[in-house]
Structure 1
Amino acid sequence: MKVGVVSDTHLSSSAKGLPSVLIEEFRKVDKILHLGDWVSLEIYDLLAELAPVEGIAGNNDGAEIIRRLGERKIITLEGVRIGMIHGHAPYSRKGTDGNALLAFEGEDVDCILFGHSHQPLMRKENGILLFNPGSPTDKRREKQYSFGLMDIEEGKISARHVFYDSRE
């Protein structure tokens, strides 16, 4: 199973639409996971045209998005348990990856996906893959925009970032 991972699209505040490189890659995925800060549900509809979408709300999302998607969830894809959280809470004093770990402390997860910082990250801690795709539309202090791709096969996950220079 091929999965597209994205966060912090901030559609209404800093981008007019989805970048063409993201659209091209997400047309090839079986599922899209969005980790919050959609800002507008319009982004859900744009992504749903490419593949089925699952997501959670972030700290810049309004009540409608929170009500519709929730702020934390665990999903299972191909036998892999994936925790999804935006990363702004619960506050751990250890950065967004620390917040994400705290959000699923004591839970049986293979992978934790999070956003919030707009900083791409991929590392393992205690056998759990921590993955932040960065942002496809608001790179902040990063050199490039980014999103993630994951392959899940026979209970194993491989993940990678896709980096690019233009959000067009």
Structure 2
Amino acid sequence: MRIGVISDTHGLLRPQVRDVFRGVDHILHAGDIGGEEVLAELGAIADVTACAGNNDGWRCGPAGKSARVSLGGLRFLLVHIRDDARAELQRAPADVVVFGHSHKPVDEREDRIWWFNPGSAGPRRFSLPVCVGLFERLQGKWQARHVALQ
């Protein structure tokens, strides 16, 4: 199983995203989507679960500021701002928290929770990388990585 992870597109879906996400089973978007057309384009690749970011003035689904989905035995919680995850985790546990907002890629484990920020796939901000993430289940074990975009 392969899961594409993206955040902070701000209305820009780079053509390379389609290449990197080709063949994924699901896509997670951690907010600052920038328009429903981004979700529609991603939805043409695979099913999408998304949460709204602080710059999304519209709701991007019934979950709004957070979203949850279970895929391949992992419980994913999506929030845009990392600090918002704490309250959500009090309501229900998650194995993986996917977040965005900072535009900085993160892949770390803390208190048995996998924290993953794919970085920003939208317009370049300062000297931060432009990238997305991939979760892959290989030989029964989940791995995550960041993929740089041009």
Output the TM-score relative to the length of structure 2.
0.88
- After TM superposition, where is structure 1 displaced by more than 4 Å over at least 4 residues in a row? 66-69, 153-156
* Cα displacement (A) at 1:74: 2.1
1:109 corresponds to: 94
Q: Secondary structure at the match of 2:76?
A: strand
1:80 corresponds to: 74
Output the TM-score relative to the length of structure 1.
0.79
Q: 1:144 aligns with which of 110, 129, 135?
A: 129
Q: Secondary structure at the match of 1:44?
A: helix
2:30 corresponds to: 35
Q: Which runs of 5 or more structure 1 residues have no equivalent in the other structure?
A: 88-95
Matched letter for residue 107 of structure 2: M
Stretch deviating more after TM superposition (111-120 or 154-163): 154-163
- The sequence identity of aligned pairs, in percent, is 37
Matched letter for residue 116 of structure 2: F
* Cα displacement (A) at 1:138: 2.6
* Cα displacement (A) at 1:35: 0.8
* Cα displacement (A) at 1:153: 5.9
* Cα displacement (A) at 1:51: 1.1
- Tell me the C-alpha RMSD between the 2 structures: 2.1
Aligned residues: 150
